[in-house]
Every structure is written in C-alpha cells, then in structure tokens.
Amino acid sequence: MQKIQFNKTAMLQIEKQLSIRVRALPVLEAKETALRLEVKKLQSKIAVLEDTLQKTLKKHQTMEPLWAEMPDLISVKKIVMTRRLVAGIQVPNVERIEYDEKEYSPFMQPGWIPGGMEILKGIIAQKLSIHIQKNILVQMETARRKTTQKVNLYKKVQIPEFEEAIRKIKRFLEDEETLSKSSQKILKARFAVPYG
C-alpha cells in the first residue's frame, strides 16, 4: 500500500476503497464457488464424452478400412458457433455443423456409404464437442484462478491494510486533537496566572 496521509480526506478515501472491497468480496467468493462447481461438472462431462467416443469408435472399428478407401467422403464445411454465459464467463456453444459431402452415385458406390456418412458425422460431432469442452475447461480454470487470486488479495491483503490504515489515521487524529486541547489548557492556565 502506498504511503498514507494522516488527514480526514485520506481517511475518507481509504474508507471508500474499503467499502468497495467489502461489498465486492461476497460476490467474488460466490463467483469462485460457481466456477469451481462448473469446472468439476465440465471435467465429468468431458470424461463421459471421451468414454462415449471410445465406445463409438470401438463399435465401428470394422468400418475403418472402408473409410480409408474414401478419405474425402465427408469433411466439415462450417461450424456455426454462438456464445453463452456460464458463471459469468462467455463460452462458445456449437449451434450446428455443416458438412461438405462428396457426391456419390448410389449405383456405382458400395451400399455402406449413406450409413457410413452418418456414423462419420456422429464421430466428427463427438470429437468437436470434446475439443470445445476442453477449451471451455481451460477458460473456466483460468477465470477461477484469477477470481481466487482476487479474493485472496482482497481478503488477506487489501482489506486488512485498509483497516489498519484507518485505525492509524484515527489514532493520529485523536492524538492530535488531545494534544491541541492540552496545549490550549496550558496556554489558558499560563495566561490566567498573574505575573508577580
């Protein structure tokens, strides 16, 4: 904290700063708790998504050689994203995925292609979802860390420093007032005594 001035103006400024931090502290603590809960939810959601993806890949493992025959059968054309608020943090949200599907002749190509394309779309959507959820997790953890730092700064450093500064200024002003009254009494007593 910077050097404090021992006057009423400085004390009022410090009191104002203190009241701002005291009012903000419960909000920050609530945000920290909400972020901590969201991080835990997100971690479990990612684990479930990864497990589901592994099961899907294992289920369709026999089709891998078929997909290798036609690697450019389907690709992602466009991902339409929106943003939403989660615990005060803006995070991305997938609105829809647009695919670029290669034209194929139902008479010249194998019969597995229509079903295989739907399976590939599902796998792509799952992988994209996992990727986005991991990015959101990084954002949430960063926001939680910053909020925790701010809570600790307010609670353990700034609020105690401001309270101590106010206490020192009050003590100084009281001492100054007492000293002023004492010197007035001494002067009054000195002038009241006749010179002899």
Instruction: Give the residue-averaged pLDDT of 34-53.
Output: 96
Which one has a higher pLDDT value, 192 or 148?
A: 148
Mean pLDDT (the chain, rounded) = 89
Residues above pLDDT 90, as percent of the chain: 60
CB-CB contact of 24 with 154 (8 Å): yes
Tokens of 16: 């104002």
pLDDT, tens digit (0-9, with 9 covering 90-100), for 18-42: 999 999 999 999 999 999 999 999 9
End-to-end CA distance of the chain: 56
Rounded Cα–Cα distance for residues 85 and 35 (Å): 12
| Measured distance CA(96)–CA(152) in Å, rounded | 41
The token duo for 169 is 């200024």
Contacts of 106 (CB under 8 A, 6+ apart): 113, 114
Report the pLDDT value the prediction gives residue 139, as an integer from 0 to 100: 95
Collect all residues with Cβ–Cβ distance below 8 Å to 91 and sequence separation of at least 6.
Answer: 83, 84, 85, 136, 139, 140
What per-residue confidence (pLDDT) applies to 195?
60
Of 49-63, 64-78, 100-114, the poorest mean pLDDT is in 100-114
Give percent of the chain with pLDDT exceeding 70.
93
The pairing of strands 89-101 and 74-86 is antiparallel
3-state secondary structure of 185: helix
Domain boundary assignment for the chain: 8-169
| Tens-digit pLDDT profile for residues 111-134 | 777 787 888 889 999 999 999 999
pTM higher than 0.85, yes or no?
Answer: no
* Domain 8-169 CATH (choose: 1.20.210.10, 3.55.40.20, 1.25.40.10, 1.10.287.3240): 1.10.287.3240
Tokens for 113?
A: 């292609």
